Structure formats: structure tokens, C-alpha cells
A and B are shown apart, each in its own frame.
Chain A
Amino acid sequence: MRAGVRGVLPFAVLVLAWAALARSGWLPPVFLPPPAEVARTAGEMLADGSLWAHVGASLGRVALGLAVSVPLAVTAGVFVGLNRRLAPVLEPIAGFFNSLSGIAWLPLAITWFGLGWLSVTFILFNTIFFLVFFNTLVGVRTVPRILEQAVRTLGGRRRHLILQVLIPGALPSIVTGIRLGVGFGWRALIAAEMIATTTGLGYLIYDAANFHRTDTILVGIIAIGTLWLATDRLLLIPVERWTVERWGLVSRTGV
């Protein structure tokens, strides 16, 4: 309860400062609309369903990107990680593609797939796939050999090693990869939506800029921040808590 108050208070102070600044007349309203107006715009957009449509479009793309790339990336990462000759060769290549992740794929995506959801999904796929693949690969390679040996002496076969040792052992890394993938993917999505689509939060705010609708832009920005925090708090952190922390493991980062 107290933690909740403590979390809300800074935002309340921020909104009050914003209201005071807007009221002072120092900035024209077209530059900075007062919070009340932004709230009214948000209310209208919620009522007529347009905000939901944009939120749904953005979230749907992230979900699609995750659903396509994570299973592929984890599978590929585990199998490459199992191969002692291939893994050290492919690791830096995956690292290179990580450094290219995100919006840099957009021009090529538009050339290949045209404007639209396919291009956006392609960008999300590239961003999430390589981050998760790289982190899975690194994770598999850092699972202590002794755990593999122990399960082999219990009669475990390749299937047991993969499902009961390598994947759980690599999970801290995999979760890190997914968190980074969603983080980078979400940012790339917003940028891509500004250019390549006519729905989604990125499109909403970029389009609003053409009409100097700062109130709409602020609604979009708040939605973007809130959605990311909600995803992180309600989905990614609980997953980490349920696996990594419960098992007493330490999570690792890797961009």
C-alpha cells in the first residue's frame, strides 16, 4: 500500500508541475497543452475506440514477433550451443546482427516487403531473434559440464540433457535475451510504425505531429511508456522471479 503511494506520488508531482507550467502562459498551448486537455483527449480516444485500435495494433505486432522468433531462436540457440565447433564461430556473427538490430532493417524491409505489417514484423523478428539466439547460445555454453555429466550417469539421453539441463540452465540468459528483445523491439516498432504503417502508436503520434496535435502525441507517449512498464512488471519480471530467482541463479546480460 505504502509502496503504491510512493510510486504514484512522483507522477502526481510531475503532473502538477506540468499543469503549472502550462497555466503560466510561458509556453503556447499548442506547444504544451495542460494535463486536463490531454486527459480529455485520452477520454475521447478511449470512448471512440481509436486508442484501443492503435494499442491493439502495436501489441499485436509485438506478440506476433515474439511468437514467431522466440521458439525459433531458442531452438536454434540450443542446437548450435550443443555443437562445440559451430558455436564459437556463430557467436560473433549473432553478435554482429545484434548490433544491427532494430530500425536499420527498415529500408531493406520496405524494399522487400513493401509498406505494411510484413515489413514491421520482419524488423521485430530480426531484432528479437538475434538477441534471443545469441543469449541462448551463450547460456547453453555456460551451463556447467558437471550437470550434464551427472544426468548422463543417471541414464539421461540427449533429449533429457536438452530439456532438463541445457534449457533450464540457459533460462537466465534466455529470459535476459527476451527482455532485451522486447525492449529493443518495442523501440524499433514505434519508429517503424511512423514510417511503414497507418496503425499503431508510432503512427498515431507521428501523424498527430503533422497536425500539431500535441495533446494526441502526449496521449500516445504516455500509452507507450505505460504499456512497456506494464509488460515489464506484469510479464517479464514475474517470469524471471519464477525461474531465475527461485532457483538461486544469477541472471546475465548480453546486448
Chain B
Amino acid sequence: MTAKITVRGLRHEYVNPFTRERVTALDGVDLEVEDGEFLTVVGPSGCGKTTLLGILAGLVPATRGTVLLGARPVTGPGPDRGVVFQEFAILPWRTVERNIAHGLEIQGVPRAERAATVARFVELVGLRGFETKYPHELSGGMKQRVAVARTLAANPEVMLMDEPFASVDAQTRITLQEELNAIALATRKTILLVTHNVDEAVFLGDRCCVLSRRPGRVKTLVPVKIPRERRTWQLLTSDPSFAATKEQVLRLVREEVGAGDTA
């Protein structure tokens, strides 16, 4: 297997604007994500998960270290890395279909081709009949479906997801997790998803990367040995290997929370 994303010796520092203190958010992160892999990243709050994702997206500059996409170094944001944000970062002034088409529009894809692609992804994320609605007319779960479809329609090499289901209710989250699993399998995309929810991380990931508390680095990579095709919540709740992996990851995260001054 070849590495799709390679992170080496990554360090990120910033100055807290209020205390003017220099903070090291990440220090010495080494990580490889394989082609077609679904990697989930968990860790205690404030461990720099979101910063790591921001650096991969090219929105946050790294203080030291390298990030490679394939063999190319990452220097800024680009359409080769699609991002799904925690908040619903779709444009309120575009309809569902125009939001999904946005990446293609920027790439200069001709209208007819665009329409066909949009129709395909509308279907994939289950938004048929909502194409001409505006975001404020949609529920939180539907907005996040639009965001996923927009990212996938632009056909990035990898998809980066920052706590994508943190702002939806528990019931919707379960549905969206199962849908995302199915979409990931269908499209064979390389996906890196950041979350603080251990259940979600184990449910979705081929491997689950546990970050240490600040300054964050990779503590352990836990493989999830359940074929992704078999993953539905109904099957997994009674699966002893799922429970065991979850327990393992949870323990690793707890160690990090306990290691600090009550985080």
C-alpha cells in the first residue's frame, strides 16, 4: 500500500492573543494515511485535532515539519483536499444544487457535465427533491449532507472531516455515520476524520489514531478489525470485537485526560 497522506515531524505553535503566551499545540506528529483508508483521529479536547486537520487542509501554517499529499508537499488550501467543517459551512445564498456544484464551478467544469455530477451526488447523499431549497430551509443533518456532497462532487484526492456530526442530534448522527460509511465504501475515497466521540471513531475508522494531550502527538494507532462492509450500528452493538476495540481506545484517551491537570 502507498501512503496518500504523509505527516512528518509536524509542530505547530501560536501566540495566545489574550495572554500573549506562546503555545505549542502539536509537537512531533508522524502519521501516514494509506490510499483508500478511512483514518479517524481522537483525543482529549484541546489536543490539537482540529489544528492538525487545518494544517492538512492548508488553512493553518505548520511551524515545522512536512505534510505530503502523495509526493507533493502541501503549501495551502487546494481542491485536491476537500474539507467538511464542523459548522455547516455551506453558503446560505446558494441552493442545495448550486452549493454542491460550487467546486466544479470554480474548476470551470462545463454546465451540462456539472449538472450530471450534481445529480449523482444529490442521489448519493439522499437529497432528491431538495435541490432548489436554500440551506436555511434544511435541517442540520441535511445541511451536513450537502457539505459532504459538495466536497465529494469536486472529486478531491482525500476528504478531511472536522467533527462533521458534532452539531446534529444523536438520532441523526447515527444515520449520518452509517451513510458516511456506505459513501466511503462506494467512492473508495481516502478519508481522515477528526472527532472527540470514541464510538464514532471506532465505528468509522479502518484505524483509529489516538492523540496525546497538548502538545499533541500520535500516541497509538489502533486497527479496527471489523470489515467496513459489515458495519451498521445494529450489528456492532452486539459485536464483542467492536466493544473491545472501543474499550481500548477509550482507555487510551482517558489516560491522556487523567494525565493532565483535570482537563
Residues of A within 8 A of B (CB): 144, 146-147, 149-157, 160, 164-165, 168-169, 171, 243, 246-249
Contacts and interface: CB of A to CB of B under 8 A. Distances in A.
Nearest to B138: A248
Specify which of A150, A157, A247 lies most central, judged by the most chain B CB atoms within 10 Å of its CB: A150
Interface in B77-123: 77-79, 81-83, 85, 87, 89-93, 102-103, 106-107
A248 B87 contact: no
Interface of B: 57-59, 77-79, 81-83, 85, 87, 89-93, 102-103, 106-107, 134-137, 147, 150-151, 154
Contact of B106 (A144, A146, A149, A156): A156
B92 A247 contact: yes
A246 B79 CA distance: 29
B85 A149 contact: yes
11 contacts: A149-B89, A153-B81, A153-B83, A154-B106, A155-B154, A157-B106, A164-B91, A164-B102, A247-B134, A248-B92, A249-B92
Contacts of A247: 92-93, 134-136
B56 to A, nearest CB: 10
Nearest to B107: A155
B45 to A, nearest CB: 19
B130 to A, nearest CB: 14
A154 B82 contact: yes
Contacts of B137: 248
Contact of B134 (A149, A171, A246): A246
A146 B87 contact: yes
Given A150-B90, A154-B82, A155-B154, 7 more contacts: A147-B91, A151-B102, A151-B106, A153-B59, A155-B79, A160-B106, A247-B136
Contacts of B147: 150
A153 B93 contact: no
Given A153-B59, A155-B154, A248 B85 contact: no
Contacts of A171: 93
A165 B91 contact: yes
A247 B85 CA distance: 20
A155 B103 contact: yes
Contact of B59 (A149, A156, A164): A149
A246 B59 CA distance: 31
A171 to B, nearest CB: 8
A147 B102 CA distance: 12
Contact of B78 (A155, A160, A168): A155
Nearest to A155: B79
Contacts of B58: 153
Contacts of A164: 91, 102
